[in-house]
Amino acid sequence: MAKKRAAKPDAREQKYDRATSWSGLRAGDPIDVEGVPGRGITFTFLAHVTNRATNETWVEAVGGRDGRRDVRSFRPEQIFPRGALKKKGTGLSLAEQPGLPLI
């Protein structure tokens, strides 16, 4: 009988740390993204990702225009609680001020 080889860990899992909660957000929470042009664009938080080799971080979000469900990546500084970008003087993103109240 042939010996079974142990399954190799997914290379993606070895290279990246993925967290489904970050800065007060959990997967599925609505967010605003600064610098995305257009109206009617909505996103929900998916994960905060860190590249172990380079220590770079980004936020993965799901959404887009007209109910699309595209997965997009953004710099953490672009992520705000839903509705925060409509208010004047909001200032800080969730990366700069973790735990801002989610609207």
User: Tens of pLDDT along 9-59?
Assistant: 555 557 999 999 999 999 999 999 999 888 888 999 999 999 999 999 999
Burial class (CB in 10 A: 0-12, 13-18, 19+), 93: buried
Residue 5 lies in a domain: no
Expressed in angstroms, the distance from the first to the final Cα of the chain is: 60
Domain that holds residue 38: 11-86
Sign of CA dihedral 84, 70, 56, 35: negative
Residue 97 lies in a domain: no
Confirm whether 95 is domain-assigned: no
Band the pLDDT of 97: cuts 50, 70, 90.
confident
- Residue 2 resides in a domain: no
pTM to 2 decimal places: 0.78
d(CA 87, CA 56): 30
Task: Determine, yes or no, domain membership for 68.
Answer: yes
What's the domain count of the chain? 1
